[in-house]
Structure 1
Amino acid sequence: MYTGELPLNKALYLNYKDVYSPNFFITKQIDGEIRLNNLKYKIENNKQITSFDVIDLIWMPTFRINMTKEDLIVELSLIYDKLLISYPLSRVARKCLILWAGKYLKNPEKIKIVARKLKMSAINMKPFEEQLRDAIIDGELTRAEERGKEIGIEKGIEKGIEKGEENIIKRMLKKYNVEEVSKMTEIDIKQIKAIKTKL
């Protein structure tokens, strides 16, 4: 689905056997007024709401319409509150409206209306970009913590190796002098002397 400004006037699609080819259309060319009025009419007259109507509700903020995005999202949340649709469809519609609200709502009064109608939690009240940033930061902190544990394990292994080398050198010093141990192990004489003082 393309929602940009390119001058494409018709849907393009391919339907070959066993090949998934999505239909592309420009939502800015869709008359949002008609779709919004259609939804209102169906609700007011107790007409069946189809999944296509729910798709209209979800994508309405991208349609061509003579309302601000904030006013439209408030209107859509009021419509959503009156929808009699299946739970899965309702869940999808609600989540999409929450994303639109997070992206476009700035007026505190409108936020309160939408939050009440969509039963939004505090986390939903944060703009989507802020939620995404928090999730990214949380992921980075988790990765840093895991890397810290890995570094700790690596340092522990290095320390163990050093301790093991030191124990070997101590046993060698019982049989050989400092210079001989240094030549055999290729370790500096000063380090060997330092280990010898721990005996």
Structure 2
Amino acid sequence: MSQTIERQYISPNCVLSLQGFSDDNSNELTPVMSVLTQAKCQIVNDGTILSGGLTFMQNLMTAVSGYSQELLSGLTHKVELKEETDYISLRKLPEKNRHLLTWQEKKEDTANQLEIELSTIQLFDLLDTIDQLYSDQYTLPQLEDTVKPLSSRHRQGEISIVEQSTPITLGLTGLALATIVLFLIPNPTTVKDPNEEPKPTPNNIEVIPPVNNQE
């Protein structure tokens, strides 16, 4: 029986732990984890732990990267998950300037779900841990095609300031940095026309009271 392999990816606000084994009998110094038995994802200082198998990991990567690209582009597009079990979705909480991550055992099963509110920093760290896994050639190489760049058909119309300087093949870490910068940009106020001449401001205007003509 293959020896159990454990891998852990850590950022300041997120810990991603994987357990599995290799189906390759070669005696390599660093074995490749090709079979996943359990994955756990926890946001630091939050008691909720999300866990599951390969489907969970694929859905987490797809949902988080897709949501972040949506934030970056400013355009809504449907994130397509391969499986409807271990269903994961994210949405904005604009009134709190936060993000709600929801896990459901099945897509339509709202009775059995877990929710985690994320700050933009926590979302960045979640992306960072996923990027660490994605970049690890010795862990689940079948996940290579899970994360895809934003399709060109979702990049039409208005383009955000950050996106104009961001290539479509942006990596997850770069995507996270661009996303957090996007959230730090203040909402624009009234834009003044640079060609408009300033209106003179009247100074020391003497107000003359009206004269009442009495017969």
TM band (smaller chain)? under 0.3
Which structure dedicates a bigger proportion of its chain to strand? 2
Length-normalised TM-score, structure 2: 0.23
Which protein has the larger Cα radius of gyration, Structure 1 or Structure 2? 1
Which structure dedicates a bigger proportion of its chain to helix? 1
- The structure whose RCO (Cα within 8 Å, separation 6+) is larger is 2
